[in-house]
Chain A
Amino acid sequence: MKNQFHKLVLAVLLVSIILNSCVSLKSVDNFSSTSLNGLKKFEEINYSFQQHCIERCQFEAIKEFDIKKETDCKCDIYKQADKATLLIYNSIKGYLTGLANLSNNNLTDYSANSLEKSLKEGAFGDISIEKKHVEAYSTILEILSRSITDGYRKNKIEIYVEEANEPIQVLLDKFQFILKENLEVELDFKKERLFDYYQDMKLNNTISDYEKGKATIDYYQQLFDIDAKQKQIGAFARSLKSISDGHQKLYDNRNKMSANELKVLLASYTSDIQDIISEINKLKK
């Protein structure tokens, strides 16, 4: 009787440990994976400071009909700007990759196949092992491993999100600043230069009306391309803002990492980022 009571207590204890430890980090995983996908869109923005410098240099040469065997463009400041941008990008990417990997349930999808293979059904001298026992041991092992490691992951993520929030907000903010206030504005300068070029061509009256028409088509085509590029950069910068706001929400609710409430809270940021990814994809076409 006493023995049975002990078994019952042990079983209740085990079940409660498993239930308490079973956490779902899916909302964190969804948010960090989508954020990472959104962030990687940076690599698809086909424009950089150095490219801007080279194109400006080429434009000057075209204006003067200056044909050289090699272009002589001084772009050191622009290369430095790209280097700084890339450094910030890589740091954010590293962190989000880590967070996405750590919150991914597949990470702790431990397989007890090895146990099943080792504990083959059959007789070992006096001991006989049935197939159902082998499967039961494996299942228990998998549940226990998952419950323990999921709790461990949850605690670790809480700590990392807490420590990362302040610096990641700074990095995301500065990354946005570089793209929106610097790179996108470089294209405004390009537009100004383009306007002057075609306006002078028209007013100088050295070309025919037909050529003026052709030049006008060229001008608007180039303007359209620059606008598309600016919209792409602008959309990307907005996705950084959503990542930043989402991470802040994650930080504010870090103590209820597995609660449904957090799932709902993060869903809007995840969906915003997803929408912007689609927008960037459309702008690329």
Chain B
Amino acid sequence: MATLTSQQATDLANDFLALARAIGDFRYKNWYALSKEEKQELADLKNSILKSGEDILALSASLVMDDVQASLEQINNLTSQIKETIENLHNIQKCINVAAAIVTLGTAIISRDPKSVMDAINGLTDTLNMQGKS
């Protein structure tokens, strides 16, 4: 048996709604001609048709999943790649901070000032530790 598509299910639900409305119109048009039992029977019938139509509409929304599975996978995969790119761009700030500490060390070494070199080494160590934590 061929499977129902979401569009077909929606069309079917709309047909059910139209049918239920037609039954309701008939019932109210003939209100005084119908017996109490007949009115109740038509009301029950209409209610069942409405319920089925509502269920089919909900089913239609689930059937959409058959059409979107591949697209969902593609978009989720792309979203992961975008996140990675963003993460790489965040790493540049870390890189700038480390580079700045290295520049200070370089300047201190060139200056041949032992105290400046020691301070710069400590500064670089601190920076590396901080970047590692973040």
Contacts and interface: CB of A to CB of B under 8 A. Distances in A.
Chain B binding surface SS class: helix
B129 to A, nearest CB: 14
Nearest to B105: A118
B70 A167 contact: yes
Interface string B67-98: 11011101110110111011001101100110
Given A114-B96, A124-B111, A199 B28 contact: yes
A88 interface: yes
Chain A binding surface SS class: helix
Interface string B51-81: 1011101111110110110111011101101
A188 B14 CA distance: 10
B64 A84 contact: yes
A189 B113 contact: no
Nearest to A96: B79
A167 B85 contact: no
A110 B98 CA distance: 13
Interface in A108-132: 108, 110-112, 114-115, 117-119, 124-127, 129
Which of A108, A145, A160, A164 has the most B CB atoms < 10 Å from its CB?
A164
B79 to A, nearest CB: 4
A53 B96 contact: no
B61 A160 contact: no
Contacts of A195: 24
Interface string B13-24: 110010011001
B62 A112 contact: no
A80 B65 CA distance: 10
Interface string A176-218: 0110011101101100110110011001000000000000000
B111 A126 contact: yes
Contact of B54 (A52, A83, A112, A156): A52
15 contacts: A81-B58, A84-B62, A94-B76, A118-B100, A118-B101, A118-B103, A160-B81, A160-B82, A167-B71, A174-B68, A177-B64, A181-B60, A185-B14, A193-B47, A196-B46
